[in-house]
A and B are shown apart, each in its own frame.
Chain A
Amino acid sequence: MAAESIDISNAMLTEPTALGDWMLVAPVGLPILFGAVLLMVRHETRLHAGIAIAGLLLTLGANAALLLQVLADGPKVMTMGRWLPPFGISFTADALGASLALVATLVASVCALYAMKDIGATGRRYGFYPFLMLLMAGVGGSFLTGDIFNLYVWFEVFLISSFGLLILGSTDRQLDGATKYAILNLVGTTLFLTATAYLYGTFGTLNMADIARKADAMRETGPLMTLAVLYLLAFGMKAAAFPVNFWLPASYHTPRIVTAALFGGVLTKVGVYALLRVLVMLFPVERAELSGVIAWVAAGTMVLGIMGAIAQSDIRRVLGFVVISGVGVMLAGLALGTEIGLTGTILYAFHSVLAMTALYLLAGVIKELGGSYSLHELGGLYRAYPAMGAFALVLMLAVAGLPPASGLWPKVLLVRASLEAGWPWLSFAILLTGLLTTIALGRVYILAIWRNGPSGVPADAATGAPGYGYASMALLCVPIILLGIYPEPFIRVAEAAAVGLLDASGYIGAVFPAEAVQ
């Protein structure tokens, strides 16, 4: 057979793959394996939490190893099925993707712990833990893939899993919220696919490193601005940026609280990640031209989002709007596009994943102890549960961006970056958002925890402290406070991520090693 004599080294990888490279696939492959096992044993509900937490901890270890490798040696690549890029799909981890994947897996593990109590046998049989694992596979894949169509596939993977999680319980409210969430998110991802279709028609390639190196040559002839705007719209929808954010407050208060915690922490950040990846790395010139628009979108998202939070009386709906305003703060760095600005955005993404998840879990604990989510009915919790009051104070300071917790430093970086860029109004918007967040969450604190409520101390105060809730919040508070009082290592990671985005040569060189040598 003549085929045997063909030299395949131009198209296929011929050298053996090192074991360390598998850390790149493990954050996606492990959750899929564990999710599959969980689907098979769905009636053995007592085993679920253990299997899921074991799987997530393994994934967490793989993520941490991957991040260390990436920080030490630069971006890592694994080419699926040996087909060399741009023909094969390559998984490419740089500091941005690896660090976000690590933080996301961390909060997912904490959510799995919290769910041990929150999700009963019915919810487990319905498939909470399998959906959680598949959601994390989708999120990990989105952060680590180096192929834009593959990114779409991972978006859909976590979208489908999020549908399953969202309607867990099938109450009327959930069906209502899930309908709006599902349709609008499906439209968003279809827009993403539309943009990808035009991108493929323009570039003839889908590998992100390949696109990044060809973008300069294509700028004269190709409709890159159209592509950038389409991606801005599609990912803005996923990230819940202002004019296209209405699916979020309509749905995030309906699911089980641990689901809401995971969604509020992780899912919008995947949209922000995709915006950073596509607009900063692939279309930097177009991003610079669009920066005015993005800045207005950012300011609108953060200020209008937090004003929505002030008008709510249900804690979960307050938090939904706080998530939106956090997305606005992250978009500010995208609008600036400077190294400090992007560092601030990425650092804020770490903070927001941790703090929003913790805050939703806090809402779950408040509901468990106080019996309600409504600010009209809550009260007297501080007297009965001072420890919970302490957690609440730390988390609310974190989200409001006040010391000693995690929200301070990213905002400092972003304010500095916007002043340096000559946009004082943007820094004013960030600071105003901080003030309004303090008001919104401070009121939650005063009404739900501090005051002697209308019902006084809840009657079932004797039930004792919620162990899982406290443990989960404590686990999340450790990195939150660490980020507040010793931010240097976090800033260094975020800086490495921002530098890697602004100068894609490391990313391109990792995917196409032959050309890096030339």
Chain B
Amino acid sequence: MRTLIFRTVAPYLTSLMILFSIFVLLRGHNEPGGGFIGGLIAASAFAIYGIACGVSPVRRALYFHPMAISGFGLLVSAISGWLSLAFKVPFMTGLWTKVSVLGVPVDLSTVLFFDIGVYLVVLGSITSVALALEEREHG
């Protein structure tokens, strides 16, 4: 699989796919898309990178262990549910606020953070499965 063409293209392909996955994640706010599918796209991006360049460059690129990323995502999701505690509404209630970033109004919500958490959980767990499989095949 480690042909020259593939190895040259893979980093660009991976970064494009990750960019696209973040786009899909944020688009899920109002349109089809969301954390799960975004996370899958990102995980497949890392899988492609792993197939092209081997597993250890992927681990270096990720910096954190995939399972730790997954745990962080779970934490973000859980906390966005627990935030309702402070507002006297039931668990997992969507809380919304508008902030202005450089004059552009941005909707922030616990739903968004929940989705980002899902993105990270899916990215982390699928990547760790994929890397474990690739490691076994080559090593």
Note whether A and B contact each other (Cβ less than 8 A). yes
Tell which of B17-25, B29-37, B53-61, B74-82 binds the partner.
Answer: B74-82
Known: A13-B90, A80-B92. A39 touches B81 (CB 8 A): no
Known: A29-B81, A42-B65. A37 touches B89 (CB 8 A): no
Return the contact of A22 from the options B71, B73, B85 (Cβ within 8 A).
Answer: B85
Residue among A33, A39, A81, A127 having the largest count of chain B Cβ atoms under 10 Å? A39
- C-alpha gap A154/B94 in the complex (Å): 22
A33 close to B67 (CB less than 8 A): no
A40 within 8 A of B: yes
- C-alpha gap A79/B84 in the complex (Å): 12
Within 8 A of B (CB), among A22-50: 22, 25, 29, 32-33, 35-43
A40 close to B82 (CB less than 8 A): no
A16 within 8 A of B: yes
- C-alpha gap A80/B107 in the complex (Å): 22
Query: Within the complex, what minimum Cβ distance (angstroms) separates B22 from chain A?
Result: 21
Within 8 A of B (CB), among A1-19: 13, 16-17
B93 close to A81 (CB less than 8 A): yes
A213 within 8 A of B: no
A-B contacts counted at CB < 8 A amount to 67
Contacts of B67 on A, CB cut-off 8 Å?
39, 42, 127
A36 close to B78 (CB less than 8 A): yes
Assign chain A's interface to a size class. 20 to 34
A37 close to B90 (CB less than 8 A): no
A413 within 8 A of B: no
A82 close to B89 (CB less than 8 A): yes
**Closest A residue, CB atoms, query B88:** A16
**Closest A residue, CB atoms, query B91:** A25
Query: Within the complex, what minimum Cβ distance (angstroms) separates B112 from chain A?
Result: 15
Known: A17-B90, A80-B92. A40 touches B79 (CB 8 A): no
A78 close to B91 (CB less than 8 A): yes
Query: Within the complex, what minimum Cβ distance (angstroms) separates A389 from chain B?
Result: 42
A29 close to B75 (CB less than 8 A): no
Known: A42-B71, A127-B67. A33 touches B79 (CB 8 A): yes
Return the contact of B72 from the options A22, A36, A43, A127 (Cβ within 8 A).
Answer: A36
Query: Within the complex, what minimum Cβ distance (angstroms) separates B65 from chain A?
Result: 7
Within 8 A of B (CB), among A89-121: 91
B16 within 8 A of A: no
**Closest A residue, CB atoms, query B121:** A36
Contacts of B81 on A, CB cut-off 8 Å?
29
B90 close to A40 (CB less than 8 A): no
- C-alpha gap A141/B3 in the complex (Å): 49
- C-alpha gap A39/B93 in the complex (Å): 25
A188 within 8 A of B: no
A216 within 8 A of B: no
A368 within 8 A of B: no
Contacts of A130 on B, CB cut-off 8 Å?
71
Query: Within the complex, what minimum Cβ distance (angstroms) separates A100 from chain B?
Result: 21
Query: Within the complex, what minimum Cβ distance (angstroms) separates A336 from chain B?
Result: 37
B62 within 8 A of A: no
A488 within 8 A of B: no
Return the contact of A32 from the options B78, B84, B88 (Cβ within 8 A).
Answer: B78
B70 within 8 A of A: yes
B72 close to A40 (CB less than 8 A): yes
**Closest B residue, CB atoms, query A14:** B89
B79 close to A81 (CB less than 8 A): no
Residue among B68, B72, B79, B90 having the largest count of chain A Cβ atoms under 10 Å? B90
Residue among B68, B78, B82, B85 having the largest count of chain A Cβ atoms under 10 Å? B78
Known: A40-B71, A81-B94, A127-B67. A17 touches B82 (CB 8 A): no
B74 close to A79 (CB less than 8 A): no
A residues adjacent to B (C-beta < 8 A): 13, 16-17, 21-22, 25, 29, 32-33, 35-43, 78-82, 91, 127, 130
B residues adjacent to A (C-beta < 8 A): 65, 67-68, 70-75, 78-79, 81-82, 84-85, 88-94
The 7 sampled A-B contact pairs (Cβ below 8 Å) are: A29-B78, A32-B78, A33-B78, A36-B78, A37-B71, A81-B94, A127-B67
